[in-house]
């Protein structure tokens, strides 16, 4: 995959994560969990917007992203899916950093990579608090 295809995958994933967390957030009434999930949700929206703009800078157009929905049956399962996805995303963005075609790509990828690591800590805390 080339950089632009990976960027499109990232845009798809960020959109899916935002709506996944929006749904997951209402599945708990624990204020800490709501705060942690809401924080991740807002970051995913920010990543989506940064990546769409980067796509525009590189290609001259915005990407029409796929609108996949994350399926899960329980809150605990959703948190585990989120944790795994966040860890994978951090590695994916780290690897993309090695192939940036323009310097403007560095900041959004670095921000997203470090945010995803933070999110994984938040979701790990939630997961380990569940019985």
**Per-residue model confidence as pLDDT tens digits over 29-85:** 999 999 999 999 999 999 999 999 999 999 999 999 988 899 999 999 999 999 999
Task: Quote the DSSP letter at residue 103.
Answer: G
CB neighbours (10 Å) of residue 106? Answer: 11
Q: Cβ contacts of residue 54 below 8 Å, gap of 6+?
A: 7, 104, 105, 108
Pick the CATH number of 3-129 from 3.20.20.100, 1.10.340.30, 1.20.1260.10, 2.60.40.420: 1.20.1260.10
Whether this prediction's pTM lies above 0.85 is answered by: yes
Instruction: Count how many residues are written for the chain.
Output: 131
Is residue 90 within 8 A of residue 120, CB to CB? The reply is yes
Distance between CA atoms of 127 and 131, rounded to whole angstroms? 9
Is residue 38 within 8 A of residue 20, CB to CB? The reply is no
Is residue 37 within 8 A of residue 24, CB to CB? The reply is yes
What's the distance, Cα to Cα, between the start and end of the chain in Å?
A: 40
């Amino acid at each position: 995959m080339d950089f632009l295809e990976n960027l499109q995958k990232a845009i798809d994933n960020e959109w899916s994560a935002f709506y996944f967390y929006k749904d997951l957030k209402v599945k708990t009434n624990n204020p800490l969990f709501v705060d942690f999930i809401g924080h991740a949700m807002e970051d995913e929206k920010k990543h989506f917007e940064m990546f769409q703009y980067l796509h525009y800078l590189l290609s001259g157009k915005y990407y029409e992203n796929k609108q996949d929905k994350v399926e899960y049956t329980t809150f605990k399962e959703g948190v585990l899916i989120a944790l795994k996805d966040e860890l994978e995303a951090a590695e994916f963005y780290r690897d993309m950093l090695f192939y940036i075609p323009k310097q403007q790509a560095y900041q959004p990828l670095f921000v997203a990579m470090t945010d995803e690591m933070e999110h994984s800590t938040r979701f790990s805390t939630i997961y380990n608090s569940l019985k």
